[in-house]
Structure formats: C-alpha cells, structure tokens
Structure 1
Amino acid sequence: MKFSLILKFSLTVMDNYQKQPLKLYIQDIFRAKRTEDNKYVYELFNIKFKNVMIHGVITSLYNTTNKSSNFEISDPTGCVQVYYDSTKNNSNIFDDTIKDLLKSFAAVSRSGDDNAPTMAALLNSIENKYKNPIDFEEGSHVSVVGDIFVDDFRNARMVSAYQCRTTSVERDIVWLEELSYLYEKYYLKNIK
C-alpha cells in the first residue's frame, strides 16, 4: 500500500511539467531553477520543463569519437558545454534497416523506376548520417535538444544532448526571431 502511494505521488510529480523541449536562449539554462520535487525538472517563467532546445555555433569541439562528442555552443546570450552521445538519439537506424533499404533500392533501380535518382539521393543522405553521426565541426551551426544537468566534478550546468543537427546561419536568424516572439508573447507574460 505504501509503495503504491509513493509511486502515485512520484508519477504525479513527473507529469507536472511541459513534455516538449522548451526553446531557450543559452543564458536561461543558467537562470532556470531546479524544482524541489525533482532534480531533473527545472522552472523558468513559471513553466516547469525537463528538456531544452537551443541553437548556436560550435566554438569548441573535444573528446570526439565516431559516436560521441563534447562541445561548446554559443549564441548571442552566452555559451554552454554539451555532451552528445549519438547512440542515445531516438532517430538511430539499425543495421538491419540499412540492409533492407539497400535491398529495396537495388530492386527499384533494376526495375528502371523514374524515382530511382531521388531515392538514391535520400538513401545516400541516410547512409552518410548512419556512418557519420558526428557530422559537425567548430564553426558549425547546430540545433541541440537535451536535458540540463549539473556536472558534479566542475559544479557547472551542461546539456546532455540526445539530438544534435547541423543547421545554417539563415536558420539561426529565423531561430532568434522565433525566440524573440516566444519571449515577448508567452514567456515574459507568464511571470507577471
């Protein structure tokens, strides 16, 4: 009986936050307050959240393997350290899936289908991302989705990314305009 009450309470606490990543300027990762209920849930603008989405430029890249990397991302408001492990990404493709895609493409290309060049381009893109999940470098514009966590060794806030995609300077300009709108129309009105 006691265990079920504890479980029910913890599930209620865990359900009391925004499920989608909260789009933020980097400076607000450091302004967010940890909730008392759960050390993995933060609060900012009277919004409780677990995941964040940030955009910026990679200013430093280190400890990179073919599956993971540490890097620093900067936007006009600040910078934050990010750890990205591509094996934790929800959009990973399994080996069997790649084999099935190659077989399907071979069958389509042999049949003389007019869509074969388009399918080849798509397959090539999927295969490149599969073989090179860390496809960014210093100076790359990236979009990062992940969780805020505190590195106990350095006592610093970081982002543990589960999705990291390269973007462009044009996309970052649109992102900054989008954030400006969100802050003005929603976030800042929430704290009044």
Structure 2
Amino acid sequence: MTQDTDTKSDSLLVFTGSTLWAALRFSLILILLCGIIYPLASTGLAQLLFPSQANGSLVKDDEGIIVGSELIGQSFTDPKLFQGRVSSIDYNADASGSNNYAPSYPELIERMQESANSWTANNPEVPVGSLPVDLITNSGSGLDPHISPKSAAVQIPRISSLTGLPEAELQALVGDATEGRDWGVFGEPRINVLKLNLALQQKIAELNP
C-alpha cells in the first residue's frame, strides 16, 4: 500500500513539474511574441509606412522648429490670427474631454453667451447672427484642431483690418487650407487652424519684412 502511494506521489510530482514547465515555456513564448517581437514589428512598420503619423503628426515652421501637432488644437489669443474652437480644458491633452451638457443647461448657455459677447467686441464688422456654432461650442474632446471654412471666413474682416492684408488674399489662404471630406464622403470640409496661422504669419512677415 505504501509503495503504491509513493508511486502515485512520484507520478503526481512528475506531472506537476511537467505542467509547470510547459506553462512557463508558454508564458515565455507569449512574452517574446507579444511583448517584444510584435511591438518592434508594428513600430518598425509604422515608422516605415507612416513616419509622420507614427511620430505624432508634428507640425514644423519654416525653420524646422516643432510648433505643435496636426491632431491637437491650440489656443490662439492674438487677434491678428485665426481663432479655433472653444476649449473648456484649454487644449490640455492630459485631460481630454468636455462636459456633456444638454442645450438647455445654464452653464452651457452662459458660456456660449460669453463667447458671443467676446466675438461682438473683437469683430464689430460681423454680426453675431453670422457666427458659426463651432466657434462658440466645445468639441467632444476639447482638443479639436479644426474649424469649418465658414468659421475662418467670418474672421477675415478682423484679421485684414489688423494686419493690412487684403481680404482677397486672406480668402485665398482659407481656400488653400481647406481640407475636403475624408475619402470624399466622410465628415465635413475643415481647416486646421495651426496650419492656417502658419501660412498667415508667413504672409504677415512678407508684408512687414
């Protein structure tokens, strides 16, 4: 009886040891595949096929200095530049998101009224009734880098007055900066505010060498 018990114990130990070793080997293989090979392969392919996107879609000025990303908006307070959307998080990418207020929520109404009042003060040439809604509303993430072409167009009189650039020249800048729908179907025409302002600053520099 004792011999049979010892035999069973030895067999159990062998089975347990074999199972543990198999589990360990399987874990090591998964770590190698999923933790090393796959990340290196996907990173390498991304750098090869989509280097700009893989590195954050960074935007550089004429001197090669990084000034931002195509994917994250910025706050432009200089009235001579095009303004982007309202951001309740001040375009802080560490805290993306915005309050999901209903249209009747008092705080939302108050914020939109403040934006409308600010618009009237800085753009007396354009009535507030012509103000596109995307200039006084937050995006879902609070980081939207784009505005609609109409939102850029209504800012032209102010910028022309402050910079001395002809409105026709500014309209041409807006037209050149307008991006179409994705695949010609998805989304709406839009303008990246950072890219547009870089082009605008270049025009201002040419006007005042």
Shorter chain as denominator, the TM-score bin is: under 0.3
Q: TM-score, normalized by length of structure 1?
A: 0.23
Structure of larger gyration radius = 2
Q: TM-score, normalized by length of structure 2?
A: 0.22
Going by fraction, where is strand more abundant, 1 or 2?
Answer: 1
Going by fraction, where is helix more abundant, 1 or 2?
Answer: 2
> Relative contact order (C-alpha < 8 Å, sep 6+): which is higher?
1
